[in-house]
Amino acid sequence: MVLPLKYNIRNVWVRWRATTSTILGIALVVSVFVLLRALARGIEASSGNTGDARNVLIVRKGSMAESGSLVTLDQFRTIRYFEEIAQTPAGQPLISAELVMLVSVPRRTGAGEANTLLRGVTAQGQELRSQVTLIEGRWFRRGQREVTVSRKLAQRFSGFEIGGSFKAGPDRLTVVGHFDGAGSAFDSEAWMDADEARSIFDRGEMYSSLLVRPRDAAALVSFTNRIAQDKRLALRAESERGYYEKQTVTAAPFKILAGLLGAAMSVGAVFAAMNTMYASVASRTREIGTLRVLGYSRGSVVICFLLEGALLAALGGAVGCAVAVGITMTLAARGTMFGSLDFQSFAETVYQFRITPDLIVLGMVFAVAIGLFGSLFPALRAARLPVISALKSL
């Protein structure tokens, strides 16, 4: 025979002072856990949302990122005539030879400098990236030492406002416009002309990568295999979207931190729940004895206290998730961005908190697990109370 759930709800309500402190403790743990996971999810979303499934990105074999890749001008001239490549209405192949470099720029807060990615692109490169749209000013012009930067970077770095300038190699570049990358990795970049970038950084006949649009799905497979099998090229070709989906290693530290902090803080939450439940057992000794006399088994008493602990924890989890969602919505409404070092490119990546339904579910499961574990030993103690002694208790 199992005790009715309303019995547990009544006990939670009657002992509201003790239960409130437990709920708040669990809420704090859950909110921190969910927010850290939301940071990692934001980084993953930034990379996973980048690129076009129709595009192929080509880098040097063995390179982990574009910034560490080298593609020669001769390789570019060879590949651009492959018949698998789609063409513009003017008959030009849809291929872009690009250069990715790191530049150090000062933060708006005055807290030192940080690396950011400067991408040299061609007109075809802009056409191949439909995610990127100009929202203010204009696009850069060739030969003018001009650059168009992400609006989100402009919010973080000094000199990235329209009309501002920053040092890149031996020259200074003037910002003439802002673009929006639709929440993709391009929100962490500044763009200028590719050949002008080669000249400024003295890269000779070297690019970092090639971006290609094959004619169709069959041509994409054929093109990718052709690059892989040509030993003279020593290049690697993969889907642009697939390439960026792999660039999520930056999120790993936040996942680890969420796990470590969650584990450390959950110890305190478990003890808080345990303390509350032990106090509940102590104050309800005669009540527990009465339940046993009425025919409720020890197993029923254990289940009763476990359900009560799970109920407390679920309330705390709901509060914690609500706090995390509220913080995320507030930061999003204010346009607040966060940045961290990308361990692939060693540039700063910008992103926002991203809370998804599965994170809410994970937070609630985490909370209930804390409640069940914290209630286990008090529940066992309650079940082992001798019936006669419990009835005589004052």
- Give the end of a domain, one of 203, 233, 263: 233
Tell me if residue 57 falls in helix, strand or coil: strand
Asked whether residue 70 falls in the same domain as residue 198, the answer is yes
**Residue 240: CB partners within 8 Å, gap ≥ 6?**
50, 51, 52, 53, 55, 56, 57, 211
User: What pLDDT was estimated at residue 237?
Assistant: 92
- Supply 284's token pair: 């309800």
Asked whether residue 17 falls in the same domain as residue 123, the answer is no
Asked whether residue 44 falls in the same domain as residue 69, the answer is no
Q: Decide if 55 is inside a domain.
A: no
User: What pLDDT was estimated at residue 289?
Assistant: 65
d(CA 38, CA 251) in angstroms, rounded, equals: 10
- Supply 302's token pair: 């254990």
Q: At 180, give phi and psi (nearest 5°).
A: -120, 130
Q: Decide if 54 is inside a domain.
A: no
The residue ranges of the chain whose pLDDT is under 70 are 1-16, 18, 46-48, 247-259, 261-263, 265-266, 268-270, 272-274, 276-296, 301, 335-348, 351, 382-383, 385-394
List C-alpha distances in Å: 183 to 13, 46, 349, 352: 45, 6, 11, 9
Asked whether residue 94 falls in the same domain as residue 221, the answer is yes
Among 351, 293, 282, CA closest to 38: 351
Looking at the DSSP assignment, which residues form a beta bridge with residue 385?
none
Q: Decide if 82 is inside a domain.
A: yes
Asked whether residue 147 falls in the same domain as residue 207, the answer is yes
Asked whether residue 262 falls in the same domain as residue 182, the answer is no
Q: Decide if 274 is inside a domain.
A: yes
Looking at the DSSP assignment, which residues form a beta bridge with residue 351?
338
What is the domain extent for residue 227?
A: 62-233
Pairing, β 95-106 against β 56-60: unpaired
User: What pLDDT was estimated at residue 114?
Assistant: 84
Asked whether residue 93 falls in the same domain as residue 179, the answer is yes
pTM, full prediction: 0.71
- For the CA atoms of the chain, what is the radius of gyration? 30
What's the pLDDT tens digit per position in 16-64?
Answer: 676 777 788 888 888 888 888 887 777 777 666 788 889 999 999 988 7
Tell me if residue 247 falls in helix, strand or coil: coil
- Supply 104's token pair: 């150090």
Q: Is 89 exposed, middle or buried (0-12, 13-18, 19+ CB in 10 A)?
A: exposed
List C-alpha distances in Å: 145 to 148, 168, 259: 11, 10, 46
Residue where the block lists tokens 């770095």: 157
In the chain, the amino acid numbered 308 is E
Between CA 32 and CA 131, with CA 183 as vertex, the angle to 5 degrees is: 165
Asked whether residue 87 falls in the same domain as residue 220, the answer is yes
User: What pLDDT was estimated at residue 272?
Assistant: 67
- Give the end of a domain, one of 175, 201, 233: 233
Q: Decide if 244 is inside a domain.
A: no
d(CA 97, CA 206) in angstroms, rounded, equals: 9
**Residue 267: CB partners within 8 Å, gap ≥ 6?**
none
Q: Decide if 74 is inside a domain.
A: yes
What is the number of domains present in the chain? Answer: 2
How many Cβ atoms are within 10 Å of 163's Cβ, its own excluded?
Answer: 9
- Supply 65's token pair: 């990122």
Looking at the DSSP assignment, which residues form a beta bridge with residue 239?
56
Q: 61 with 86: CB under 8 angstroms? A: no
Asked whether residue 112 falls in the same domain as residue 166, the answer is yes
Asked whether residue 217 falls in the same domain as residue 349, the answer is no
Asked whether residue 342 falls in the same domain as residue 306, the answer is yes
Among 362, 277, 376, 392, CA closest to 11: 277
Q: 82 with 210: CB under 8 angstroms? A: no
- Give the end of a domain, one of 205, 233, 261: 233
In the chain, the amino acid numbered 124 is Q
Tell me if residue 182 falls in helix, strand or coil: coil
Q: Decide if 375 is inside a domain.
A: yes
Between CA 79 and CA 84, with CA 82 as vertex, the angle to 5 degrees is: 125
Q: 79 with 210: CB under 8 angstroms? A: yes
**Residue 280: CB partners within 8 Å, gap ≥ 6?**
11, 15, 18, 305, 308, 378
How many Cβ atoms are within 10 Å of 102's Cβ, its own excluded?
Answer: 15
Q: Decide if 104 is inside a domain.
A: yes
**b/e string for 68-84 if b means 16 or more Cβ within 10 A?**
ebebbeebbeebbebeb
Asked whether residue 167 falls in the same domain as residue 270, the answer is no
Residue where the block lists tokens 């940045």: 339
